[in-house]
Structure 1
């Protein structure tokens, strides 16, 4: 049934658009406005032009924060997406008991990230942490570290925590995709003598290529938005080796009172994430068209 008045659809959309404009569009617009000013959050604003953007581009710590987040994304692509894919393949191959495995692996996703960060800070604690205690118990005292205070291990330690949390999330995505693979194809592969590993690698994974693409995009864009783990576990330390763009801009705004500079960094970060997403979508579409699917 078509609406009798052309304005009817807009009346239904109006409340949602107002909320979206107030909660999303207005903060984004004001962030762009603040980025062209020098402001401490409560005093008078001073127009600064593009000085904040020039300062951000020349800021070595801000540039290094992108290198750190790229390392984090590369690690989580393995620890989250690849591990989640393998776990989904393992669970989908089980004849019984898969429900309990899925619940156990997915449980960390349901925990608040702040709780996870505090929990793992105890695990990594150099004095009474579970990890160093386990290494001592099995005779590997030489491997003991101040995990979150060592510049060579702090970033990797955070990546491991992220993988522990989100591997179950991606496992759930891939498990649902595997369930959409026609059982006739899987049974035909088994009749041809294919083992579970061959079915997983040559049948199931190629048939859920779209799900894998979405998972990779979620992991990459989510990596740029990471904040809570880094902020709670290390707050950018030691010596800035775990500083990422989000933690640095939050410090600039709330610790140093540089609202304009922090807003400029937020605008640059948003632009980079949008460009990465568009390039990834274009690349994925190009591969799909190239394979004829």
Structure 2
């Protein structure tokens, strides 16, 4: 009887494995294969070996795109994770009406990113945008900018939009983590004379360390996968100031018709993301062993 049912688990897993193989593994394998060729998507496919990878490594636009996305990630770690953590601390301390605050802050997450990008493009508009109008109304006209057309402000402007959207997402994660903290620990801190700010900094945040680590990892890997916000708002401009790897490789494939070179950039980007994830997991594992010791 045991041998009769030995294959049962694999039969149940087979549909999911087939879908995963067809939707994930096959495209990955095809992308790796295309990266060794020179191909425009419909003509003759010419094998070029590692030429696309060598070209990508020497491509200054591609290298600069990683610098831009790293700056974006650093800014969003503050505007999304840190702000979300503070918002969760504030909301968790509200006794009445916290549900409405959470819904209001989380609402931008539910909006399609393309819609968000179009709305904020109007906010940043240099002629009739809300931001420049507000600066003029408050007597700060000298601070007015062509926000999405200025190389010094475009990347920061996009980062602010990302923070506005995802701060509520991370607030929800941290709020759920705060809800799991035993109330007697917080009450003991209050009896010892600790204020709410000290309790938040020294008690609550250390006790949700695992949630903070997950949030940081999500923010870092999600930053490398960003595309729609950059594509709709600036499409890499002005003068490449907001060019990130995803926008550059999509333009390379669909605008320039260079499937092989775009595939090589996609493979390199995937390798960077996987390497960061592995390093992060390794460092987190060492820190966990140190804490247990």
Deviation at 1:292, TM superposition (A): 2.2
Q: Which residue in 2 is equivalent to 1:185?
A: 185
1:28 has 2:28 as partner: yes
Unaligned runs of 5+ in 2: none
Q: Distance in 1 between matches of 2:65 and 2:39?
A: 23
1:15-47 deviations in Å (ceiling 9; x for gaps)? 111111100000000000000000000001000
**Cα deviations by residue, 1:231-269 (Å, 9 ceiling, x for unpaired):** 000000000010000000000000000000000000000
Aligned runs of 1:45-84 on 2, under 5 Å? 45-84=45-84
User: 1:172 offset after TM fit, Å?
Assistant: 0.2
Residue correspondences, number: 293
How far the C-alpha of 1:134 sits from its partner, in A, is 0.2
**Cα distance per residue 1:169-206 (max 9 Å; x no partner):** 00000000000000110111111111111110111000
Structure 1 pair 195–4 and aligned structure 2 pair: CA distance change class (3 A): farther
RMSD in angstroms over aligned alpha carbons? 1.2
List aligned pairs for 1:122-271, cutoff 5 A: 122-271=122-271
The alignment status of 1:11 with 2:15, answered yes or no, reads no
What are the ranges of 5 or more consecutive residues in structure 1 without an aligned counterpart? none
Shift of 1:285: 1.3
Runs of 4 or more, structure 1, over 3 Å off, are 1-4
Residue 229 of structure 1 and its aligned partner are, at CA, apart by 0.4
Partner of 1:112: 112
C-alpha distance in 2 between matches for 1:257 and 1:27: 18
Give the Cα separation in 2 of the matches to 1:95 and 1:203.
Answer: 19
